[in-house]
Amino acid sequence: MTTVRTLISIAATSSWTISQMDVKNAFLHGDLHEEAYMQLPPGVDVPSGHVCRLRRALYGLKQAPRAWFERFVTVIRAADFSPGDHDPALFVHLSSHVRTLLLLYVDDMLITGDDGEHISQVKKQLSEQFLMSDLGRLSHFLGIEVLHSAKGYYLSQSKYIRDLISRSGIIDNRTSVTHMDLHLQLRSTDYTPLEDPS
């Protein structure tokens, strides 16, 4: 989450637009380097005792996330991006006249930079390799609502919080007044600390 906030902060201070893309069936793009077999699903007629050897990753296969990420790294490196030093899912393209940042989170992608033409070219290159949807300007990512204004970006998790409250079944509960002095100011020097805080 720190990388997401940092990317948004960089875009805000640089007045860059952030685009969002979604990779369809991301795990199906990964190539397997080891042998993996599966039983055939019901309804497929094959002789008893036969299984399928997988050549590509499937959802639910524990190797699928790694296979997908390796494939993505190969494609994005070919577009002259390098993984970030602190987060391997952040890819950076720096040249004398172009700065572009791309963040991948499973199958969701954010891309921003100072050259809209380069960003369009990268989107095109990725779309040639993977089935993707261009979701336009960033509006919602990993439970964070993102609103854009002339002053920058506004981040909110109110929808995420409402969904949590709704799922927990307490959305219609009544509030209760908590009796506490509204003007009370507590300072760490007002009380003696506990000897064993645990």
Indicate whether 144 belongs to any domain: no
Indicate whether 43 belongs to any domain: yes
Residue 100 has phi, psi (to 5 degrees) of -135, 135
CATH number at residue 17: 3.30.70
Burial class (CB in 10 A: 0-12, 13-18, 19+), 68: buried
* pLDDT (average), residues 127-142: 90
- Where are the strands (E) in the chain, listed by range? 18-23, 37-39, 51-53, 82-83, 90-94, 99-105, 108-113, 132-137, 140-141, 144-149, 152-156
How far apart are the C-alpha atoms of 154 and 97, rounded to whole Å? 29
Indicate whether 33 belongs to any domain: yes
Indicate whether 171 belongs to any domain: no
pLDDT at 49: 76
Indicate whether 69 belongs to any domain: yes
Report the predicted TM-score, pTM, of the whole model to 2 decimal places.
0.72
How far apart are the C-alpha atoms of 88 and 76, rounded to whole Å? 12
pLDDT at 59: 60
How far apart are the C-alpha atoms of 183 and 198, rounded to whole Å? 29
Domain coverage including residue 35: 2-135
* pLDDT (average), residues 135-143: 88
Number of domains within the chain: 1
